[in-house]
Each structure stands twice: as structure tokens, then as C-alpha cells.
């Protein structure tokens, strides 16, 4: 049964996941992407599936920590100075939500969405069209200081209370998990509920699958506006022509505000620039688990025989510059935790992308009340890849007027109206 045509803006993991579930639910799908299909934030991320990330980025302590980091050009977090009203407005809202009540009210919806998304990855990996190195063997959270040890153990206990599979480990117990790597740590937490995958393989396989099912892709296409009648969008206006549809899904990652401002919608969001690079470890070193180097905020993911290192959160207007000191901060932190890995500054193939960061640390997921045929799937920040399948599945359910498996009401795109 043909349910009609859906125009999806954005070919990142949220947009492609929405396309996957929609096309299998009987919709015609067209995907509009402003870049090429092999150039968006979903390709270069750490590939982590993280039910462990049940607390929003807007949380107690983030403001004071962020201020301390601001004075270190190699720190994990940086706000590039700007007179931008969007940045100032975002910052004021972030301060409003960085409190315990906000966290307490949203840990369960975030946990449920991440856990459900992880299950959807399991199902996807069992299909014959997909083999994207999915391993649900856990992620190690590694720390070096007593202060962070206390915080992480408290967080791990809360995770256990929420029903997540989590183990608190000594340094020796972490070392026993990885015989080839020499750790210099105080201890760690193994979030057995977490997993990892190869995002490059996943994205390419999703695109190939969608094309085989009749999805139409329009690359290098910029949205200029919308043709609107009453409370319905009739056409998407682009520099490559107009695209008519019955439903429209806006999933453009960090460029959400550019598209929704044209619709008179208030969805505050800032791009958070991150860097990553691939490293060829020595032949006698194999890393089995993904890890987060907590004080440094660096992600470490074994991927296709290599190791991907990634990190930093640099808020500000998008640009095409690679700031060497940000990458040096990642490189310099690695031997402080992984003693036998000698990682040089990557002379080439440094990847960067922009995470879509909302001021309350929650994604935008659902319909908007101002229009009858628009749904939003964006703003998942550092959880973008982890939440992709669940966000896509939710969009499919919403457009077919079916109830979604978890409570997503707190992620309403209307919450800042």
C-alpha cells in the first residue's frame, strides 16, 4: 500500500533511519542533502551506542567545568568568541537547564530511547543487507583522578538503579579486559549495555539499501524555502527545483535552525565542532573494547582493524578550519591513559563535523503544532548515531499515526515555543 510521498531533508543517520523505516512501511521517499552523501557528521563519529548516556549535556557542574576549560586552548570544550545572538541565547538557555531537576526528569526517557535504539541496531545487523561491525560488548569509562572516580561510581550506581548492565572495575580488572594495551588509570566503569559499530559501513549500506528499494536521493541541494498553503507544506523550494510531498521530515543535523527559521519555528541549536582521526596500531596491539578517556573527553573506538580517536566540543558558527590545538589536545591525552600507544599528530585525514546541540541536551523528535505535515528528527548531539534508529522509527510511527514504543513527549520540538 502506497501511503504517499515523504520528503526528508538530511542524509545523516537520523534522516537515513527515518527513510529506512518509512520506505518499509509503504511510503515513497525522497532525500534532500545539501552536501554529498559521503560528507556529514554521521560518518566520522566514534561509532558508539550509548545507553550509558542517560543524562543530558545540560547537567549540574557543566557550567563551572566549561568555564575552567575555556582558558585552555587544548581543552575538551571551547566556545569560540562571537557576538552571535543565537550563541548568547543558547548559552542563557543552557544555564537555565543545567540543574539536577532537569536531569532527574529526563534520565528515564533518554535511557528508554537509547535502549530501544540499541535493540533496533541488533535487528538491523541481522538482515542480509547489513554488516557494519556491530559489537555489543560494552564501553569502558576510564578515569585517572579520585574526584572523577567518585562521580563515575555514583553515576554507575544510578545506571544500575535504572536497570542498565554496569560493572565498577579496578585498574587491574580493566587491564584484564585488554591484554595488549597498558593502562595508566585509577579505575573504570564497564557499561556492558553499550556497544559500537563502524559508521562509515553503516551509512553506505543504508544508502545502498534505500536506493535498492526505490528511494530518490538529491545531493548538493540547498533548501531555499517552502511553499505553504494554510497549515500544510506543499513544496520544498531548493536551488535544484521544487519537491512536492505529502509529509516533510526535517533531519539536517547541525543546520536545523537555518531550515526551521524559514518556517517561523523556535528550535534553538548550536553546532558543536568535533574532530576525529584513524590510527594504525602496532601489529601486536589489539583493542577489543571502545573506551572513553573521561578527564580528556576523548573517545577511543576499534574500527576495521584501526582505532578511531575523537573528541572536543567547540561551539560556534560553522567554518572549514582545522584548529591544530584542538587536535593536539586529543593526541596529547592518549598516552596519559594508554601508555604503549605512540600516536603522532595526524598529518592528513583529520575529519571534523558538527554535532547538533540543543540548549537542554535533549533531541527534537516529533511533529510541530504550527504545521500539519512536518516532523523533526534532530538535535541528538553526541548521541546522534546511538539514537538514529529510534528517531527514525519514531518518525515512521508518527507519520502513520501509531504510538511509539517509548515516551517521547519530552522531546517535543514545540518545547521552546
Q: What is the DSSP string of 43-106?
A: TSS--EE-TT--S-SS-TTHHHHHHHHTT-TTSSEEE-----HHHHHHHHHHHHH-SHHHHHHH
Q: Minimum mean pLDDT among 283-287, 300-304, 319-323: which range?
A: 319-323
Give me the residue spans of the domains in the chain: 53-83+134-195+270-357
CA nearest 379: which of 327, 352, 351, 416? 416
Measure the CA–CA gap between 179 and 218, rounded to whole angstroms. Answer: 47
Contact assessment for residue 19 and residue 31, using Cβ atoms and an 8 Å cutoff: yes
pLDDT at 202: 97
- Give 198-246 pLDDT, tens digit per residue: 999 999 999 999 999 999 999 999 999 999 999 999 999 999 999 999 9
pLDDT at 246: 98
With H, G, I as helix, E, B as strand and everything else as coil, classify residue 200.
helix
CATH architecture for the domain at 53-83+134-195+270-357: 2-Layer Sandwich (3.30)
pLDDT at 62: 66
pLDDT at 364: 98
Q: What is the rounded average pLDDT of the residues 96-116?
A: 95
pLDDT at 66 over 70: no
Q: Minimum mean pLDDT among 63-77, 194-208, 365-379: which range?
A: 63-77
Q: What is the rounded average pLDDT of the residues 239-254?
A: 97
pLDDT at 2: 84
pLDDT averaged over every residue in the chain: 93
pLDDT at 212: 98
- Give 110-151 pLDDT, tens digit per residue: 999 999 999 999 999 999 999 999 999 999 999 999 999 999
Amino acid at each position: 500500500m502506497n501511503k504517499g510521498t515523504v520528503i526528508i531533508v538530511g542524509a545523516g543517520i537520523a534522516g537515513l533511519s527515518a527513510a529506512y523505516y518509512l520506505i518499509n512501511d509503504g511510503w515513497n521517499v525522497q532525500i534532500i542533502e545539501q552536501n554529498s552523501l559521503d560528507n556529514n557528521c554521521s560518518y566520522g563519529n566514534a561509532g558508539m551506542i550509548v545507553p550509558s548516556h542517560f543524562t543530558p549535556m545540560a547537567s549540574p557542574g557543566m557550567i563551572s567545568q566549561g568555564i575552567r576549560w575555556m582558558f585552555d586552548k587544548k581543552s575538551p570544550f571551547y566556545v569560540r568568541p562571537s557576538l552571535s545572538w543565537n550563541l548568547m541565547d543558547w548559552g542563557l538557555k543552557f544555564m537555565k537547564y543545567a540543574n539536577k531537576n532537569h536531569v532527574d526528569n529526563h534520565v528515564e526517557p533518554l535511557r528508554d530511547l537509547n535502549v530501544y535504539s540499541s535493540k533496533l541496531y541488533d535487528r538491523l545487523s541481522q538482515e542480509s543487507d547489513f554488516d557494519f561491525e556491530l559489537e555489543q560488548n560494552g564501553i569502558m569509562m576510564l578515569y585517572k583522578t579520585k574526584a572523577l572516580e567518585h562521580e563515575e561510581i555514583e553515576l554507575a550506581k544510578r545506571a544500575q538503579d535504572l536497570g542498565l548492565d554496569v560493572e565498577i572495575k579496578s585498574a587491574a580488572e580493566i587491564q584484564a579486559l585488554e591484554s595488549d594495551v597498558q593502562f595508566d588509570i585509577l579505575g573504570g566503569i564497564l557499561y556492558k549495555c553499550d556497544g559500537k559499530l563502524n559508521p562509515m559501513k553503516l551509512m553506505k549500506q543504508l544508502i545502498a539499501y534505500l536506493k535498492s528499494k526505490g528511494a530518490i536521493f538529491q545531493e548538493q541541494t540547498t533548501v531555499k524555502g517552502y511553499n505553504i498553503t494554510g497549515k500544510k507544506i506543499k513544496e520544498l523550494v531548493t536551488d535544484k527545483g521544487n519537491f512536492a510531498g505529502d509529509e516533510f521530515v526535517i533531519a539536517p543535523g547541525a543546520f536545523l535552525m537555518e531550515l526551521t527559521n524559514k518556517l517561523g519555528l523556535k528550535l534553538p541549536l548550536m553546532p558543536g565542532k568535533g574532530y576525529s582521526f584513524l590510527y594504525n596500531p602496532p601489529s601486536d596491539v589489539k583493542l577489543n573494547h571502545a573506551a572513553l578517556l573521561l578527564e580528556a573527553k576523548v573517545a577511543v573506538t576499534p574500527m576495521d582493524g584501526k582505532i578511531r580517536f575523537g573528541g572536543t566540543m567547540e561551539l560556534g558558527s560553522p567554518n572549514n578550519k582545522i584548529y591544530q590545538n584542538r587536535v593536539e589536545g586529543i593526541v596529547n591525552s592518549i598516552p596519559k591513559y594508554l601508555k604503549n600507544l605512540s600516536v603522532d599528530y595526524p598529518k592528513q585525514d583529520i575529519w571534523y563535523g558538527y554535532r547538533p546541540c540543543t540548549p537542554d541536551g535533549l533531541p527534537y523528535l516529533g511533529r510541530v503544532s504550527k504545521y500539519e505535515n512536518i516532523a523533526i528528527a534532530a538535535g541528538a548531539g553526541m548521541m546522534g548515531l546511538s539514537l538514529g534508529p529510534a528517531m527514525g522509527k519514531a518518525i515512521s510511527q508518527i507519520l502513520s499515526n501509531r504510538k511509539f514504543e517509548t515516551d517521547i513527549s519530552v522531546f517535543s520540538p514545540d518545547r521552546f515555543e
